[in-house]
């Protein structure tokens, strides 16, 4: 469960929208949509504890450090950092106590599931945008946290990558995890995500995805 209580966020003295009071129920799957700069990514960072709110608070039913995983936009990753794709993916084991054999098995499975076989030793700077995004998602798939926050997980993915993404999102949801997904692809939101939070400078609107998208001009959420 994620409960936002009179939550405001943005630059100091400049809240991006009116205060938000909303509860993301345990096991729910919710999209966040809105125009560029409306505060979608900032809201995820506030929920994740990476950015302080201007006012209000966020209450989680799980500890942030051990119960929440955050998928950032890949532009925030230092691609010059001297690690391989395999090492990046294996970072998903952080904080987990697993045998060497089990770690190796799960890492191999994650790489196969995201079609990354043969790229294990490739440095980050040598990856395409789609390969890097699939690596970040593979890293996420190695976590076992009950809350997943995904900031534009579809970015840079080709058709196959997007198919893999939505398959995994549905699988994580079926496991009872709570997912909040920032997404610009309204057709995908309508098809895959039951509930949506629309952020506007005049306030936030929450409701069924199909109904909310149908009532909202696409120019407001591109």
pLDDT (tens digit per residue) in 93-142: 987 888 899 999 999 999 999 999 999 999 999 999 999 999 999 999 99
User: Degrees (nearest 5) of the Cα angle 133, 160, 80?
Assistant: 20
Superfamily (CATH) of domain 2-79+146-220: P-loop containing nucleotide triphosphate hydrolases (3.40.50.300)
pLDDT of residue 65: 76
CA quadruple 42, 45, 51, 57: dihedral positive or negative? positive
What are φ and ψ of residue 63, in 5° steps?
-65, 140
What number of CA atoms fall less than 13 Å from residue 130's CA on the CB side?
Answer: 12
Which pLDDT value is given to residue 13?
Answer: 87
Domain boundaries, the chain: 2-79+146-220
Residues contacting 76, CB < 8 A, separation 6+? none
Q: What is the DSSP letter of 205?
A: E
Residue keyed to tokens 């809201």: 43
Which pLDDT does position 221 carry in this prediction? 55
pTM as predicted: 0.91
What confidence tier does 74 reach under pLDDT thresholds 50, 70, 90?
confident
* Distance, CA of 44 to CA of 85 (rounded, Å): 25
Question: What is the pLDDT, as a whole number, of residue 219?
Answer: 45
């Amino acid at each position: 469960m994620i409960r936002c209580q009179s939550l405001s966020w943005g630059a100091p003295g400049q809240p991006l929208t009116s205060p938000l009071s909303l509860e993301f129920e345990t096991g729910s799957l919710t999209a966040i949509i809105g125009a560029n700069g409306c505060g979608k990514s900032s809201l995820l960072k506030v929920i994740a504890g990476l950015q302080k709110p201007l006012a209000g608070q966020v209450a989680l039913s799980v500890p942030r450090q051990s119960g929440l995983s955050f998928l950032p936009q890949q532009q925030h990753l230092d691609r010059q950092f001297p690690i391989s794709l395999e090492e990046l993916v294996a970072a998903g084991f952080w904080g987990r106590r697993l045998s060497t054999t089990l770690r190796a098995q799960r890492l191999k499975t994650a790489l196969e599931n995201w079609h990354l076989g043969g790229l294990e030793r490739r440095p980050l700077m040598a990856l395409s945008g789609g390969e890097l995004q699939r690596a970040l998602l593979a890293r996420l798939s190695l976590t076992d946290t009950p809350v997943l926050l995904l900031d534009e997980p579809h970015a840079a993915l080709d058709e196959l990558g997007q198919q893999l993404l939505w398959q995994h999102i549905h699988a994580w949801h079926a496991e009872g995890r709570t997912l909040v997904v920032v997404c610009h692809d309204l057709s995908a939101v309508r098809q895959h995500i039951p509930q949506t939070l629309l952020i506007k400078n005049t306030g936030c609107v929450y409701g069924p995805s199909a109904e909310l998208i149908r009532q909202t001009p696409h120019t407001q959420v591109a």
